Structure 1
Amino acid sequence: MMSSVNSLDILVFGAHPDDAEIGMGGTIAKHSRAGYKIGICDLTFAEMSSNGDIETRKLEAARASEILGLAARTNLGLPDRGLRAEAAVIERITNEIRKFRPRIVFAPYWQDRHPDHVACSHLVQEAIFNAKLRRYIPDTTAHTVEQNYFYFINDVYEAGLIVDVTGCYEQKRQALKAYGTQFEAAAAGNDFVTTPINQGYLERVEMRDRLLGQKRSMEFAEGFVTKLPYPVGIF
């Protein structure tokens, strides 16, 4: 996948291709339109998914990346349903941060019904911390991430920050539809099986984004959490 960019404004991590699109596809599209260089790093190829296969998922991710206007997308090829807090795994994620030197990093929220999303959240937090340590992997240049935000995938908690994505929501829809193997309903004649995400899942994502936007009179919004205070100059 594309990865020729030297530096990024924003780097989004997901356990699987489609995680970032579900949680913050509108925010990615909005910032890409504004001229920001944005990349996604998927930790796995989602090879344990009930539908589709690795090669098809690669094509779907590439199509979604094009729709969202990504500057880079990489995949670490770590084992799906096998993400562990091991030194070698954290090192690979740290190297990805040092390679792209993003100002902002996004990761899944640390509570979710899918264990891989939870694991991804914790691994990225470990890697962000290690990335700034000059004596950690000293043959690569240390990098300090300015801000780390967390996005929601399956389970939604109280958002401390929301982004109005009304104007680019169609891009999010199309990016998610690119993952046909995941979200198209099982039907007679195809080789799909019924799963929680091909039974009206995209409609529920859209409903979630509508409800969140309603809190601030926006048609659609995506929510985020930060562990650090959000800095402002004046109100």
Structure 2
Amino acid sequence: MPEVAPSQLDILVVAAHPDDAEISVGGTIATSLRAGLSVGILDLTTGEPTPFGTLEKRLAETEAASRALGVTWRQNLNLPNRKLQNDLESRAKIAEVFRLTRPKVILGHYPEDVHPDHVAASQLVDAARFWSKLSRTDLAGEPWWPPRLYHYWSIHLRIHPKPSFVLDISSAIDAKMEAIACYRSQFTEGREPVFPSPLDDIRDRARYWGWSIHKAFGEPFASREDIGISAFDSLL
């Protein structure tokens, strides 16, 4: 993925680990790209070590998954996996990405999760969003306040809060599942077959959220800020 940031992203997905973005919002990414929006992914850690993964495997899997979705800008901050903390150094690195990519919408982890890295990632996004707008700092780039922040669920969240909205991803479910399947070291290699498989489970969750809005497949989002609309046709 190119390391040079675009002048402005419509959507920036911030994920604790490679594969989090694909699992949680892969359909949203593919649907948005097909609609002509610019979408990038910021992975905070490499996700390694894992039982059947290596840094080299995970990088190759991430590149393959990005191609499956159509993502052309993705960056990894190489923060410590399993030890992610809401500290000042990490906050500054994320804030700089916000200032350089100037996203209109940030998609980040829901603040309540059983995975400590996901919780820390959510806290970091909140803090970095504020830092990104500050003047008179030593951060790279011009001050920027990302206008919208929406939170997505992960597979570790067993009790789901009521979403603020659910996005129809029916046309992109195959791209989402193809991207997730690229992470063989995380879902298939070295594992005994189970039913339902992890991939079936992820697809079934998307099917449930689609059912909730009378569509085939969907992805849920929460907003802690009010969502304004300019006309009722956006709800039709």
Shift of 1:86: 1.2
Distance in 2 separating the partners of 1:116 and 1:195 = 27
Cα 1:121/1:60, change in 2 over 3 Å: same
Distance in 2 separating the partners of 1:152 and 1:130 = 24
Residue 33 of structure 2: SS of its match in structure 1? Answer: helix
* 1:206 maps onto 2:203 in alignment: yes
Amino acid across the alignment from 2:77:
L
Preserved CA contact (<8 Å) 1:185 1:199 = no
Distance in 1 separating the partners of 2:109 and 2:181 = 21
Identify which of 218, 222, 225 aligns with 1:221.
218
**Structure 1 outlier segments of 4+, above 6 Å:** none
Q: How large is the RMSD of aligned CA atoms in angstroms?
A: 1.9
Amino acid across the alignment from 1:3:
E
Identify which of 217, 228, 232 aligns with 1:231.
228
Amino acid across the alignment from 1:136:
T
Shift of 1:195: 11
Normalised TM-score (structure 1): 0.92
Normalised TM-score (structure 2): 0.91
Residue 113 of structure 2: SS of its match in structure 1? Answer: coil
* 1:171 maps onto 2:175 in alignment: yes
Distance in 2 separating the partners of 1:48 and 1:146 = 35
CA deviations on 1:63-100 (whole Å, 9 max, x unpaired) are 11111111300000000011112111100010111111
Aligned to 1:3: 3
Cα 1:195/1:91, change in 2 over 3 Å: farther
Preserved CA contact (<8 Å) 2:13 2:42 = yes
Residue 26 of structure 1: SS of its match in structure 2? Answer: helix
Preserved CA contact (<8 Å) 1:130 1:136 = no
Q: Identity over the aligned pairs, expressed in percent? A: 35
Shift of 1:139: 5.3
Preserved CA contact (<8 Å) 2:96 2:139 = no
Could you list the runs of 5+ residues in structure 1 that have no partner in the other structure?
A: 188-193
Aligned residues: 228
Cα 1:96/1:74, change in 2 over 3 Å: same
Distance in 2 separating the partners of 1:195 and 1:20 = 24
Cα 1:219/1:181, change in 2 over 3 Å: same
